[in-house]
Amino acid sequence: MATWNSRGLRGSTLEDLINRTNEKYREQGLALIQKVPTPITPIRIDKEHRHITLAYFDQKSTVDYIGAVQGIPVCFDAKECDTDTFPLQNIHAHQVEFMGDFERQEGVSFLIILFSQRNELYFLPYRRMKEFWERAQDGGRKSFRHDELDLSYVLTPHGGYLVPYLDGIQKVIDESE
């Protein structure tokens, strides 16, 4: 069973960047995206400092973020990778299923991946993630390589937006028309 303190601060830098971007998008009236809290049950509490020191996850989480962009439902997950090969074990079956259900309800689902060695943010649309996932399910590679990605989905910070994922959403919408 996974515990809260066994996961450390993995992903916290990327999430901080996304949270700041979400605040700016909200302030500009462009999007309303919220971090989805993961329900936990505390096991051990440091009463002196009033901190949870050990807990377990109550249930599987779906995605990290959910909300709306100009009336379009949006959900996404944030992942970090320190090599050029992204292991699909970092994506869980229940997340793929949730994102697929979300897309069937005319929402937009995606991953934001920080390739930390490259210092590169990547927007991975659900449809492309699903191709990699199905390839693995069919006995193929259990990962995908950076060189398999469409580099037009690299996110470049601009205008004060640290993780400008609206650029990726616009690209997905343009390609589907």
4 secondary structure, DSSP code: G
Nearest residue to 68 (alpha-carbon basis) of 122, 35, 102, 30: 30
CA distance 89 to 81: 12
Give the Å distances, CA to CA, from 105 to 74, 75, 100, 101, 172: 11, 12, 9, 6, 16
Q: Is 95 marked as a binding-site residue?
A: yes
Q: Is 77 marked as a binding-site residue?
A: yes
Annotated binding site for Mg(2+): 62, 64, 77, 95
Annotated binding site: 62, 64, 77, 95
